[in-house]
């Protein structure tokens, strides 16, 4: 870029990045501390099971999401059948549903005391659990199904876009060369979509690794729940940090493998030449199969659990509509809005520096700041606390030095710790969306405005910002939903006396009384829906 940035800009970028990755360093430091042999005890006893459960779950959910999402994405992107237009966005809805709520609802239905087994028992006159076999809902497999139902939209979204953008002429060519539709899908479309699928599965696996509530409700201990238990059960922060480090290692290896697997894949295709006439018009049973498949998926992943939630909320409305409910809703909205705003502001600054700085090293801060998304909330909480506690004490010591009454726990005693952790975790989302929008702005525009005498601030404010508006908004919305839903970091970092909707609902879930928290759960879902619908609309307009 032709514009020389002052050192101040670089310094700001590096400072932001340093603050964002500070928790990671704190965590590693903490892991190096002695832990009174708690870790070696865990290592000898339960750790192998925790690791096995974590890996198995990531594998199963990744695989499950692929199987569920690919057909749906293909139907919607490339075929025509009744309801296609609606399913296009309806299938995103499950993303707004926290997995533990789906898990609760299905447990209520399918466990021994649930309607399904009760009916079976009365029909076949079985008396005891020994009389028949029924798969246990609260199990590793059960958790995998619940998480797949909720997380598949990540794969679906990316696969749908990939299929849409695939060159129609290639697919036509394959058909002319004698491929059946099935064969051309299998040998051409699917392999071409592989990079998108890989990214989708990586996202799903990360979300799975970070899941705390579903597995703890299902009593399937994973590394994430183990971190929580080791910290609060054994009281060993150091051992918890060691477990967290293993967890991070697993995740980074996974991300690495995913990158390695598609290192040689490059897509050479021009702008999508897709047009509506290229859709396969499904007829006969195929038409019903496609509609049926999408409807069933939507039914199980969203409509049914949501309907049951509404039923609960209706039945228990009086107990649920309380001053606390309103207070926690406001808390949730406030935190989510604050986090979105901070993430956008910082990401924008970092991406701006990266774009116009002549120094190649200035692209580093934005890359570093994206690592947080891979860190599960439980793990992140440990990393956030140690430096902030240190900071709190230093400030109070400073006051004491001046013989003054200190401010108390300024950072760990307020929502600061929570907001900080959320920002670290979700910055990657806004960085990604702003990066994408930047790609669409021609560099010559920057040059033109500088020639016209704009300084960097004016360039950012008057030229880039208006053009980035959409990307910024989309990113902010995603961060907003994630902040509403994020549970483990909130559980561990909320200041004394502070609850938000996620922690409130989870408390009821773990007490097996979701009925009373259903109203709050509905708010989480509904607030999550608005951004999803908006996001989808902007995606559609783009394509």
Partner 1 sequence: MKLLKSIAILGLASVAGVVNAAESLTVYSYRQAFLIDPILEKFTQDTGIKVDVVFSKKGIAERIQREGQLSPADVVLTSDFSRLMELVEKDLVAPVSSDVINGNIPSQFRAPDNTWYALTQRVRNVYSSRDRLGKLDINYEDLAAPKYKGKICTRSGKHPYNAALVASMIAHHGEAEAKTWLQGVKDNLARKPQGNDRAQVKAVKEGLCDIAIGNSYYLGKMLADPKQVSWAESVFLNFPNQANRGSHVNVSGMVLAKHSKNKDNAIKLMEFLTSNVAQQAYAEVNYEYPVNPSVKPSKLVASWGEFKADALPIHKLAENHQAAIKLLDEVKFDL
Give the chain's radius of gyration (CA, Å): 25
Separation between Cα atoms, residue 78 and residue 167, nearest integer Å: 11
Contact 358, 3 (CB under 8 A): yes
Contact 188, 340 (CB under 8 A): no
Q: CB under 8 A: which stretch of 15-23, 122-130, 141-149, 249-257 binds partner 1? A: 122-130
Contact 206, 373 (CB under 8 A): yes
Q: Exactly one of 218, 328, 420, 426 binds partner 1 (CB under 8 A); which one?
A: 218
Q: Which residue, 41 or 194, has its beta carbon nearer to partner 1?
A: 41
Contact 185, 144 (CB under 8 A): no
Judged by DSSP in three states, 103 sits in: helix
- Please compute, for residue 76, the number of CA atoms within 13 A of its CA located in the half-sphere on the CB side: 27
Separation between Cα atoms, residue 417 and residue 97, nearest integer Å: 25
Token representation of residue 337 = 């809005």
Token representation of residue 418 = 């929570």
Size of the site for partner 1 (CB under 8 A): 47
Q: Which residue, 41 or 262, has its beta carbon nearer to partner 1?
A: 41
Bridge partners (DSSP) of residue 79 are 280
Q: Exactly one of 413, 454, 470, 539 binds partner 1 (CB under 8 A); which one?
A: 413
Q: Which of residues 31-60 bind partner 1 (CB under 8 A)?
A: 41-42, 45-46, 49
Contact 166, 193 (CB under 8 A): yes
- Alpha carbon 431 to its chain centroid, in Å, reads 14
Q: Which residue, 138 or 359, has its beta carbon nearer to partner 1?
A: 138
Separation between Cα atoms, residue 289 and residue 245, nearest integer Å: 46
In the complex, minimum distance from the CB of residue 234 to partner 1, in angstroms, rounded to a whole number: 7
Q: Which of residues 382-411 bind partner 1 (CB under 8 A)?
A: 385, 389, 392-393, 395-396, 398-399, 402, 404, 406-410
Q: Which residue, 12 or 396, has its beta carbon nearer to partner 1?
A: 396
Strands 79-80 and 280-281: what pairing? parallel
Q: Exactly one of 187, 512, 534, 540 binds partner 1 (CB under 8 A); which one?
A: 512
Count of other CB atoms within 10 angstroms of residue 263: 7
Closest Cα partner for 135 from 155, 122, 148, 120? 120
Q: Which residue, 53 or 65, has its beta carbon nearer to partner 1?
A: 53
Q: Which residue, 51 or 533, has its beta carbon nearer to partner 1?
A: 51
Q: Which of residues 171-200 bind partner 1 (CB under 8 A)?
A: none
Q: Which residue, 69 or 382, has its beta carbon nearer to partner 1?
A: 382
Q: Which residue, 114 or 195, has its beta carbon nearer to partner 1?
A: 114
In the shown chain, the binding pattern of residues 479 to 508 toward partner 1, with x for contact by CB under 8 A and - for none, equals -------------x---xx---------x-
Q: Exactly one of 18, 40, 86, 112 binds partner 1 (CB under 8 A); which one?
A: 112
Separation between Cα atoms, residue 12 and residue 8, nearest integer Å: 6
- Please compute, for residue 300, the number of CA atoms within 13 A of its CA located in the half-sphere on the CB side: 14
In the shown chain, the binding pattern of residues 220 to 249 toward partner 1, with x for contact by CB under 8 A and - for none, equals -x-------x-xxxxx-x------------
Task: Give the containing element (helix H, strand E) for 80.
Answer: strand 79-80
In the complex, minimum distance from the CB of residue 17 to partner 1, in angstroms, rounded to a whole number: 25
Token representation of residue 166 = 């695939």
**Binding flag, residue 325, partner 1 (CB under 8 A):** no
Separation between Cα atoms, residue 190 and residue 77, nearest integer Å: 13
Q: Which residue, 50 or 302, has its beta carbon nearer to partner 1?
A: 50
In the complex, minimum distance from the CB of residue 491 to partner 1, in angstroms, rounded to a whole number: 9
Q: Exactly one of 511, 530, 538, 543 binds partner 1 (CB under 8 A); which one?
A: 511
Q: Which residue, 117 or 329, has its beta carbon nearer to partner 1?
A: 117
Judged by DSSP in three states, 471 sits in: helix
Separation between Cα atoms, residue 298 and residue 379, nearest integer Å: 32
In the complex, minimum distance from the CB of residue 271 to partner 1, in angstroms, rounded to a whole number: 53
- List contacts with partner 1 (CB under 8 A): 41-42, 45-46, 49, 112-113, 127-130, 136, 138-139, 218-219, 221, 229, 231-235, 237, 385, 389, 392-393, 395-396, 398-399, 402, 404, 406-410, 412-413, 492, 496-497, 507, 511-512
């Amino acid at each position: 870029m032709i514009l020389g940035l002052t050192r101040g800009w670089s310094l700001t970028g590096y400072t932001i990045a340093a603050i964002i990755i500070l928790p990671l360093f704190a965590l590693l430091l903490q892991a190096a501390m002695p832990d009174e042999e708690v870790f070696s005890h865990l290592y000898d006893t339960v750790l192998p099971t925790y690791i096995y459960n974590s890996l198995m779950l990531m594998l199963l959910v990744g695989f499950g999401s692929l199987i569920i999402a690919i057909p749906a994405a293909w139907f919607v992107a490339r075929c025509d059948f009744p309801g296609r237009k609606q399913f296009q966005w309806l299938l995103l809805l499950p993303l707004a549903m926290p997995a533990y709520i789906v898990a609760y609802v299905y447990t209520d239905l399918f466990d021994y005391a649930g309607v399904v087994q009760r009916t079976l028992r009365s029909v076949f006159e079985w008396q005891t659990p020994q009389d028949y076999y029924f798969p246990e809902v609260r199990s590793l497999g059960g958790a995998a199904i619940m998480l797949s139902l909720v997380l598949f939209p990540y794969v679906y979204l990316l696969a749908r876009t990939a299929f849409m953008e695939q060159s129609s002429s290639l697919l036509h060519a394959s058909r002319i060369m004698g491929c059946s539709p099935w064969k051309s899908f299998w040998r051409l479309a699917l392999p071409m979509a592989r990079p998108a699928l890989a990214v989708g599965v990586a996202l799903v696996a990360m979300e799975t690794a970070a899941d705390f509530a579903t597995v703890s409700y299902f009593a399937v201990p994973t590394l994430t729940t183990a971190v929580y238990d080791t910290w609060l059960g054994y009281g060993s922060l150091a051992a918890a940090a060691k477990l967290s480090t293993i967890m991070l290692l697993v995740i980074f290896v996974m991300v690495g493998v995913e990158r390695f697997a598609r290192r040689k894949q490059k897509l050479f295709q021009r702008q999508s030449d897709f047009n509506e006439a290229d859709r396969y018009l499904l007829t006969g049973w195929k038409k019903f199969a496609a509609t049926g498949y999408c409807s069933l998926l939507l039914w199980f992943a969203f409509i049914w659990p949501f309907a049951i939630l509404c039923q609960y909320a209706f039945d228990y409305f009086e107990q649920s509509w309380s001053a606390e409910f309103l207070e926690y809703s406001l808390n949730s909205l406030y935190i989510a809005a604050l986090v979105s705003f901070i993430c956008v502001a910082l990401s924008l600054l970092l991406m701006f520096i990266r774009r116009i700085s002549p120094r190649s090293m200035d692209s580093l801060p934005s890359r570093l700041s994206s690592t947080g998304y891979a860190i599960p909330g439980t793990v992140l909480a440990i990393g956030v606390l140690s430096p902030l506690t240190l900071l709190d004490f230093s400030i109070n010591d400073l006051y004491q030095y001046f013989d003054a009454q200190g401010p108390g726990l300024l950072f760990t005693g307020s929502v600061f710790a929570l907001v900080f952790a959320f920002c670290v975790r979700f910055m990657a989302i806004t960085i990604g969306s702003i990066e994408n929008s930047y790609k669409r702005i021609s560099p010559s525009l920057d040059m033109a405005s500088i020639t016209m005498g704009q300084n960097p601030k004016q360039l950012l404010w008057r030229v880039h910002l208006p053009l980035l508006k959409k990307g910024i908004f989309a990113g902010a919305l995603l961060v907003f939903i994630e902040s509403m839903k994020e549970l483990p970091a909130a559980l561990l970092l909320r200041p004394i006396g502070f609850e938000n909707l996620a922690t409130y609902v989870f408390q009821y879930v773990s007490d097996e009384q979701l009925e009373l928290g259903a109203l709050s759960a509905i708010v989480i879902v509904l607030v999550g829906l608005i951004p999803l619908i908006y996001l989808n609309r902007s995606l559609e307009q783009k394509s």
